[in-house]
Structure 1
């Protein structure tokens, strides 16, 4: 199985076959685990392992697995033994892997709106892998959906791009801050933009920026003057 080709095709397939973020996270995780087994037809993995790697709860894992099965992207065999892990198999997009019907269905759906070759070539000309969310990026998008309920497709693309730039740890920190402050996704995105504009690349730099901001507040508003509420759409102080 060609790992990169599967990732690219999966991303294209999602354009006409959208999946919940939890299912996307699970698919990436199963692909990574199957890669480690040198692409065995079937591989065993415990629910606890998948929960740890995806950040999904047991209920979310079950739902994501069901979504992937219904979409025809994986097969799953539950063990008959108690506390025995089930077996997974990835349904490849490659016709040479014996899944011609699935691939033909995908190709027909995609070509109904635009020729697949043209679509792939256009995106490869921009950047072959730029818009393919990594596992880390998919986890971030899933977390944002958990915190803020509804995230638009545009916002998902923004998160994906910012995660490529700043990394999963910083984006997660921004989402956690917005949730703690009982703010919405726009607030989190403002924090992320602010860090991006300042060139911040690590949690240590975030803490330093926080200290500078506190020092600024003390100097300007230490006399009891009311400080305006932080607006994340501004460039910052």
Structure 2
């Protein structure tokens, strides 16, 4: 399974389907675990781990899981004593592409039914642009919902800076950053912004890199972010420069 394509396909799937935020968070948590296992077709996940990654209660995980099963997004097999439950994540890549293609084709057909002289070359890009706008809007809503579920209402003035981080870091790191900030009880945008800024300056691009960085930081061996500051001139250096100038005159 291609991780990035699956994430993008899930965002596209959300354009046409509505599920609780808890189910969205659980789906991302299962994707993280599956990624850690090397993308096995079936993998095991303990409820305690899912509760830790999602911030949901035991019942909350059960309800979110039931929603994902009902939507056909995962296959779930209950575990037993000594063995965790088994999960399988359904691939959305091909099915979502088909839905988008059908939507674009349907929109173009409607345009032709209104005006038979609509130019094909102009109509298709316009419909693709509309689909892309809906895709971006749903993705923004999804991430803002996760933020507000953990930190409270995101002030309008902070929405653009927040979405800029989403564009730069990607959904996975943003969701993980929110989880990390909540665990540290730093429930404010400024605290979350400091985390994202540190990761950006350290040029961290993947969850694996972030995990390594955070582990090194906790152990006190992470390399500090380089801060380039202009060296101040000492009084002696200033005086020497002035004497040199006078000599030249």
TM range (shorter): 0.5 to 0.7
- Contact persistence 2:150–2:187 (CA under 8 A): no
- Secondary structure of 1:39's counterpart equals coil
Question: 1:89 maps to what in 2?
Answer: 88
- Contact persistence 1:9–1:93 (CA under 8 A): yes
How does the TM-score come out when normalised to structure 2?
A: 0.50
- Contact persistence 2:77–2:87 (CA under 8 A): yes
Tell me the matched-pair count: 164
1:22 is the counterpart of 2:36: no
Q: 1:143 aligns with which of 150, 167, 184?
A: 150
Question: 1:161 maps to what in 2?
Answer: 163
Question: 2:194 maps to what in 1?
Answer: 202
Using the alignment, how far apart are the partners of 1:71 and 1:65 within structure 2? 10
Q: 1:111 to 1:125 in 2, by over 3 A?
A: closer
Q: Over residues 98-122 of structure 1, what are the superposed CA-to-partner deviations in whole Å (9 max), with x where a residue is unaligned?
A: xxxx55874577558758x969964
* 1:161 shift after superposition: 2.1
Larger-Rg structure: 2
Using the alignment, how far apart are the partners of 1:112 and 1:19 within structure 2? 26
Question: 1:70 maps to what in 2?
Answer: 70
Q: Which runs of 5+ in 1 are unaligned?
A: 96-101, 175-191, 204-237
* 1:143 shift after superposition: 2.6
Using the alignment, how far apart are the partners of 1:120 and 1:61 within structure 2? 38
* 1:132 shift after superposition: 4.3
Q: Whose helix fraction is larger, Structure 1's or Structure 2's?
A: 2
Q: Over residues 170-219 of structure 1, what are the superposed CA-to-partner deviations in whole Å (9 max), with x where a residue is unaligned?
A: 99623xxxxxxxxxxxxxxxxx5xx69xxx9439xxxxxxxxxxxxxxxx
Using the alignment, how far apart are the partners of 2:194 and 2:24 within structure 1? 27
Q: 1:173 aligns with which of 187, 206, 210?
A: 187
Q: Over residues 26-54 of structure 1, what are the superposed CA-to-partner deviations in whole Å (9 max), with x where a residue is unaligned?
A: 11111111111121110001000000011
Using the alignment, how far apart are the partners of 2:27 and 2:65 within structure 1? 9
Question: CA RMSD, aligned part only?
Answer: 4.6
* 1:141 shift after superposition: 3.8
How does the TM-score come out when normalised to structure 1?
A: 0.52
Question: 1:36 maps to what in 2?
Answer: 36
